[in-house]
Each structure stands twice: as structure tokens, then as C-alpha cells.
């Protein structure tokens, strides 16, 4: 009998035991850097002349790994293999499919520190951010496995005389999974395992900045007993194989997490019927946000400042749920700013694979580094720089300059930002916080809702009527009261957003697997 699902607990790296295990794991993974990872299509391991070179963000001279790069011929082979495998995989009992997820979770639990270390090298996650990502991956596997056992059982329908009626949930077919780089295990495995446990087969095109961690994940699924061809690991460029996979007539659904621009392109392509296609493709999209924390004049200001700093600068602000706007009531505006700057200033920035366990690592790559610093340049003209800043100007607030050799951006804060400024409207995906003044609570809500996104938001207030009002008027998919706007837990806070933040898929929720299945009603006259 299965134990009831519970989220995986975290550790405290200030304690000797977890710290020593993490240092040992970093040493072990460092010895594995520079290896080559093939495509995994069916039972074949395919090397290619072209390679994706995964570079360590915090040390640009270090190669994490060389990954075979698929072309369209490989993508076609992967689609065909997945389609052929689907014929048998869809008939495997839901409980059997679930057991494979439970086995994968057990393997990952035993390798938790090692997998965390891989994320420190390839994504420059801090120890606790990497550890939390691996824990979330385990949570997805444990929860989705249990959900498939529930959904695989006979579904309740109203009895009717002289008829035997049943409702079955059946899989869709071949899916294309396109995960992001920022949660290279949690989101990647969550999207992939949900599709697989529901009875579908998958072509996985991992992000080109996180292909090694995805390769390790694919190996673990194989060790857990997943048959060849159910998960086909097929990294490559979006331009060469991404559009090809999405538009393919055999593709039944596309599951994507990433930028709004790419997501909208996928949404449009899924709406077009390819020659030979006999279904409407489903698109499951999570496309980012411009998230905020609102603080009114009744709030616990210390708790609010803690929440803002943690949500704005955790993992260098590279979360779709990150707090990139702090909306402060005018009566407490100056006091909250003071506390936020005081808490952000001591945050350490450096290579998270060292023994120093820095709060913040590097941003993911050169393109992101340049984009973030361009927004900082824009911010100098749109607000007042209180802390941090980019390489083009002197750092504000007496903050220590970041180290060289990697894509490091210090925590950066602007105040006096207009609600319609680019800094307050566009997703930056970096450690840049825009602070906006509101004249009253109505104004707070208007500013909070005044973007094209609607993913996460938080309100710090001790006014019960305002909290109740926000439940109805604060228009985001994940709303938090008196806590930060990041850190959703599987089956505790099902995750997904409104408007241009995506299709509100509610990943980690009890409706999620239904996105990868279809209901079949069967009636037999008695």
C-alpha cells in the first residue's frame, strides 16, 4: 500500500551533515565534467557531429558536457519511434506506469546531493535552490504516480437501468515536451513524467542551456524500468527541430514552459492543421510573468521585506514566479525600501560550486547577462538606482562588486519606477527589482493587475477585508497572503497563471494529468 503523498523535506546546509554531503557531491560531479551525451531514440544511442556545448555560467572556461545535437532527420526518427512505442505503452496498466515513477523517485532520492551538484555546475543554482529543485522533481513523480492510480480506476458515473456505463481516461498519443532551463529537473521531469504516466510517449527537447541535467534524468528513467521509445531524448535548436516537432502531423500535444514569445509561437502553430493530421493538437503552456508583492500600511513590514528580497533575488531572479515588482502603499513606502535594501545588500554572489555556499550564483548565459544589463541601463533612466547595477556604471549602495569569470549580476533595486515603465511591464528574468508607489489600496490592485501577465502575486496586509477583496480582484493564478510569491509546492499550491502567463495548467495539481488524456464514455445495453 502506498504511503500518503507528502512533499519532500529540505535540509539545512548550515548543519555539518548536509554541508559535508554537499561538498563531497560537488567534488564527485566535478570529476564527471566534460563527458559526451548521445541522443536517446528508442534503444539507440546516437552520436552526432554537431554538439551542444554546455558551459558553466559561473566559470566560462569550464565545459559541463558535450551533448549530441539533433537535426530534423533525428527529430523525425524520434517522432516515428514514439508513435510506434505508443501502440504498446498505452496498453500498460496505469498502476504499472506509476510504479516506474515511484522507482525513479527512489533513485533520485538516493542521488539527491549529486543531482543538486549538477544543477550548481550547469545552472549556477545555490545549494538550497538546487536541492529544492530536486525535491520538487521527486514530489512530481510521487504525486503524479498516485494520481494516475486514481484516474486509472473506474470513474464514477450515474447508474442507468439496463445499461452498463463506464468512463475511461485514455492517453492522447505522441507528445513534444519543451522544458525550460531554470528548473532543469523539477519542471523537466514534471512535464515529462505527467505525459508518460498518463500513457503517452514523448519526444523531449531540453533547453540548450540545461541539456546535461536532462540527460542524467533520462538515464534515471531508464534505470527505473521505462521501456525504450517511451522517452526519446532529442536536444537541438528551436529553429532547426523545435518548430518541426511542434508542426509534425504525428504530434498530438505540446507541453511547453518558457518565454511568452516562444509560447505564443507554439500556440499559433498548434492551431494549424498539418497535412495528414486528424486531431486538434493540445498545447499546455506556461509562459512567465511580471510578478509582484503588494504591501499595505497595515502589514508586518519586516516579514514583507523578507518576502520581497527572497522572492526577487532567489536563483538570481530567474524564476517565472520571481518578484520583479514591489508595490508599496505610500504611507510605508520609505520604511519598506530601507528594510529591503538592508536585507539585499549582504547577499553574497559567486560560484556556487565552491564551499562558500553563496546566496546567488551567475545568470544562465551571455545572452541573459547582456539582456539583464540592458534593462539595468534602461532602469537608470526610469527610476532611482538604490542598490547594485550593471558593468556600465558604478555599483550603488556600497554593494561589493561580483567576481569575474562568469555571468554575475548583483542584486539590483530601483525605486520611483512608474507603473507603465518598461522596468515595471517587461519580464527581465534576472535579479532586478522595480519598486512602485501606490496612493491607496485601490491603486495597489490597479498596479498589480496592470500588466499583460497573471502568474503569481502576494499581498502583505493585516486587514481582513482587503485580503478577502484580493481573493476576487488580484488576478493571478497563484496568490499568496503574507508570504513570498515564489516556492509553490506540488499538490499544495497547484501552479499556473492567467492572461499571457499561459494556459493555467496547474502543474502539480489534481487536474494536471487530465491535460494529457481524453475521456471515453462506453455504454453496453444489458
Active site residues: 286, 320
How far is it, in rounded angstroms, from Cα 440 to Cα 137?
A: 41
DSSP-assigned letter for residue 430: S
Report the distance separating Cα 185 and Cα 181, nearest Å. 9
CA 227 to chain centre: 26
- Residue 445 burial by CB count (10 A; 0-12/13-18/19+): exposed, middle or buried? buried
- Categorise residue 33: left if φ over 0, alpha if ψ from -120 to 50, beta otherwise: beta
Nearest to 120, CA basis, from 59, 175, 163, 76? 59
Given a contact cutoff of 8 angstroms between Cβ atoms, the answer to whether 256 and 282 are in contact is: no
For residues 454 and 497, give the distance between their C-alpha atoms in angstroms, rounded to a whole number.
5
The answer to whether 453 touches 500, Cβ cutoff 8 Å, is yes
Half-sphere exposure (Cβ direction) of 30: Cα atoms closer than 13 Å: 11
For residues 107 and 137, the answer to whether their CB atoms sit within 8 Å is no
Helix (H) or strand (E) holding 473: helix 464-473
Give the DSSP letter of residue 221. Answer: H
Angle at 158 between CA 155 and CA 159, to 5 degrees: 105
Instruction: Return the half-sphere exposure (C-beta side, CA atoms, 13 A cut-off) of residue 227.
Output: 20
Place of cell 513534444: 176
Task: Specify whether the CB–CB gap between 98 and 334 falls below 8 A.
Answer: no
Alpha helices in 390-487 (DSSP H): 422-425, 441-448, 464-473
Three-state DSSP state, 51: strand
Cα-Cα-Cα-Cα torsion 496, 428, 330, 388, nearest 10 degrees, comes to 130
Amino acid at each position: 500500500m502506498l504511503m500518503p503523498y507528502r512533499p519532500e523535506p529540505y535540509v539545512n546546509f548550515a548543519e555539518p551533515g548536509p554541508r559535508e554531503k554537499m561538498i563531497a557531491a560537488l567534488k564527485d560531479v566535478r570529476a564527471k565534467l566534460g563527458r559526451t551525451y548521445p541522443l536517446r531514440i528508442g534503444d539507440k544511442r546516437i552520436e552526432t557531429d554537431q554538439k551542444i556545448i554546455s558551459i558553466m555560467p559561473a566559470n566560462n572556461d569550464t565545459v559541463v558536457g558535450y551533448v549530441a545535437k539533433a537535426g530534423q532527420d533525428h527529430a523525425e526518427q524520434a517522432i516515428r519511434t514514439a508513435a510506434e512505442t505508443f501502440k504498446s505503452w498505452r496498453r500498460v496498466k496505469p498502476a504499472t506506469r506509476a510504479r516506474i515513477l515511484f522507482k525513479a523517485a527512489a533513485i533520485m532520492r538516493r542521488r539527491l546531493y549529486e543531482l543538486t551538484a549538477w544543477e550548481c555546475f550547469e545552472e549556477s543554482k545555490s545549494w538550497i535552490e538546487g536541492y529544492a529543485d530536486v525535491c520538487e522533481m521527486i514530489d512530481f513523480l510521487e504525486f503524479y504516480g498516485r494520481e494516475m492510480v486514481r484516474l486509472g480506476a473506474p470513474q464514477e458515473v450515474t447508474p442507468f437501468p439496463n445499461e452498463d456505463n463506464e468512463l475511461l481516461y485514455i492517453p492522447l498519443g505522441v507528445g513534444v515536451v519543451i522544458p525550460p532551463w531554470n528548473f532543469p529537473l523539477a519542471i523537466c521531469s514534471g512535464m515529462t513524467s505527467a505525459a508518460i504516466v498518463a500513457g503517452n510517449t514523448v519526444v523531449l527537447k531540453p533547453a540548450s542551456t540545461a541539456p546535461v541535467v536532462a540527460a542524467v534524468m533520462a538515464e534515471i528513467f531508464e534505470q527505473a524500468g521505462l521501456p525504450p521509445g517511451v522517452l526519446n531524448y532529442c536536444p537541438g535548436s528551436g529553429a532547426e527541430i523545435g518548430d518541426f516537432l511542434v508542426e509534425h502531423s504525428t504530434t498530438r500535444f505540446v507541453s511547453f514552459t518558457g518565454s511568452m514569445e516562444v509560447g505564443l509561437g507554439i500556440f499559433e502553430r498548434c492551431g494549424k492543421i498539418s497535412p495528414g493530421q486528424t486531431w486538434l493538437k493540445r498545447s499546455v503552456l506556461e509562459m512567465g510573468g511580471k510578478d509582484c508583492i503588494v504591501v499595505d500600511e497595515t502589514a508586518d513590514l519586516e516579514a514583507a521585506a523578507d518576502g520581497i528580497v527572497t522572492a526577487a533575488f532567489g536563483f538570481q531572479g530567474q524564476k517565472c514566479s520571481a518578484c520583479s515588482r514591489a508595490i508599496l502603499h505610500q504611507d510605508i513606502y520609505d520604511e519598506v525600501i530601507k528594510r529591503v535594501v538592508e536585507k539585499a545588500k549582504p547577499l553574497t554572489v559567486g560560484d556556487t560550486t565552491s564551499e562558500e555556499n553563496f546566496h546567488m550564483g551567475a545568470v544562465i548565459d551571455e545572452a541573459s547577462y547582456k539582456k539583464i544589463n540592458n534593462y539595468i541601463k534602461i532602469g537608470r533612466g526610469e527610476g532611482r538606482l538604490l542598490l547594485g547595477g550593471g558593468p556600465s556604471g558604478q555599483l550603488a549602495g556600497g554593494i561589493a562588486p561580483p567576481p569575474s569569470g562568469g555571468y554575475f549580476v548583483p542584486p539590483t533595486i530601483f525605486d520611483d519606477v512608474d507603473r507603465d515603465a518598461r522596468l515595471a511591464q517587461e519580464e527581465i528574468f534576472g535579479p532586478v527589482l522595480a519598486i512602485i508607489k501606490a496612493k491607496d489600496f485601490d491603486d495597489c490592485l490597479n498596479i498589480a493587475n496592470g500588466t499583460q501577465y497573471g502568474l503569481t502575486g502576494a499581498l502583505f496586509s493585516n486587514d481582513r477585508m482587503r485580503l478577502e477583496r484580493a481573493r476576487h480582484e488580484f488576478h493571478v493564478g497563484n496568490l499568496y497572503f503574507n508570504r513570498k510569491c515564489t516556492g509553490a509546492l506540488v499538490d499544495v499550491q497547484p501552479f499556473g497563471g492567467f492572461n499571457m502567463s499561459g494556459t493555467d495548467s496547474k502543474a502539480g495539481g489534481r487536474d494536471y494529468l487530465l491535460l494529457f488524456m481524453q475521456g471515453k464514455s462506453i455504454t453496453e445495453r444489458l
